[in-house]
């Protein structure tokens, strides 16, 4: 097999590979991504295997299984983090559900850029410099977004909630 034939291989086997990958992938684009990754793996090893077409399909299956495990781990991590965050974000000891709901609504009204800074600063416990590094903005911008967000939230929240 000549290395300039990869397009021929992909054109010949691509549709079947995508159909095969759809068994594990939730969308067409995810299946295409799996096939792309599998094809790269296959192409590197193609001359060392006895049955290249079978190996190509095996690569798709392995990539799909790897992808699926990754997605399951990510989902567990995110759900775990969300559960922990919900407990400590909006239900610290002594706070009632009205206050929690009011803060949640006010936070949701903020522009994304400000909300990210508030979450990272307050619930993440990060410095403005750390927030800036994560969001790829200057630390002065992080500080001003934080200040604007708090001003907006104070205006939206009733006084009894602010205490």
- In whole angstroms, what is the distance from residue 128 CA to residue 143 CA? 6
In the predicted model, what is the mean pLDDT of residues 26-43? 89
Token reading at 126: 């990060």
Task: State the average pLDDT for the chain.
Answer: 80
Nearest to 41 by CA among 20, 22, 64: 64
Q: What is the pLDDT of residue 143?
A: 95
- In whole angstroms, what is the distance from residue 8 CA to residue 151 CA? 60
Q: How does pLDDT run across 70-106, given as a tens digit for each residue?
A: 888 877 777 776 555 444 444 444 456 777 778 878 8
3-79 matches 94-162 in fold: no
Q: Give percent helix, percent strand, percent coil of the chain, each to the nearest 5.
A: 80, 0, 20
Residues 3-79, CATH architecture: Orthogonal Bundle (1.10)
DSSP calls for 63-102: HHHHHHHHHHHHHHHHHHHHHHHHHHHH--TT--HHHHHH
Q: In the predicted model, is pLDDT for residue 14 greater than 90?
A: no
Percent share of the chain, pLDDT over 70: 84
pLDDT confidence band for 160 (50 / 70 / 90): low
DSSP calls for 24-37: T-SSHHHHHHHHHH
Alpha carbon 5 to its chain centroid, in Å, reads 35
**Domain coordinates in residue numbering, the chain:** 3-79, 94-162
Q: In the predicted model, is pLDDT for residue 1 greater than 60?
A: no
b/e sequence 93-116, b meaning 16+ C-beta within 10 Å: eeeeeebbebbeebbeebeeebbb
Q: In the predicted model, is pLDDT for residue 7 greater than 70?
A: yes
Q: In the predicted model, is pLDDT for residue 124 greater than 80?
A: no
Fold that domain 94-162 belongs to in CATH: Arc Repressor Mutant, subunit A (1.10.10)
CA dihedral (133, 136, 141, 143) in degrees, to 10, reads -30
Looking up tokens 């800074």 gives 117
To which H or E segment does residue 130 belong? helix 128-135
């Amino acid at each position: 097999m000549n290395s300039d034939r990869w397009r021929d291989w992909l054109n010949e086997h691509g549709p079947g590979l995508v159909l095969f990958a759809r068994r594990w992938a939730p969308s067409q684009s995810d299946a295409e991504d799996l096939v792309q990754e599998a094809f790269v793996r296959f192409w590197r090893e193609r001359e060392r295997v006895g049955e290249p077409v079978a190996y190509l399909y095996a690569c798709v299956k392995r990539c799909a299984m790897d992808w699926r495990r990754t997605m399951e781990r990510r989902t567990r991590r995110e759900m775990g983090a969300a559960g922990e965050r919900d407990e400590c974000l909006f239900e610290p000891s002594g706070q009632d559900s009205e206050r929690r709901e009011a803060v949640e609504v006010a936070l949701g009204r903020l522009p994304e850029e400000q909300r990210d800074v508030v979450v990272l600063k307050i619930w993440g416990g990060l410095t403005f410099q750390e927030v800036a590094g994560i969001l790829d903005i200057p630390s002065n911008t992080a500080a001003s977004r934080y200040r604007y967000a708090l001003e907006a939230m104070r205006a939206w929240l009733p006084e009894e909630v602010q205490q």
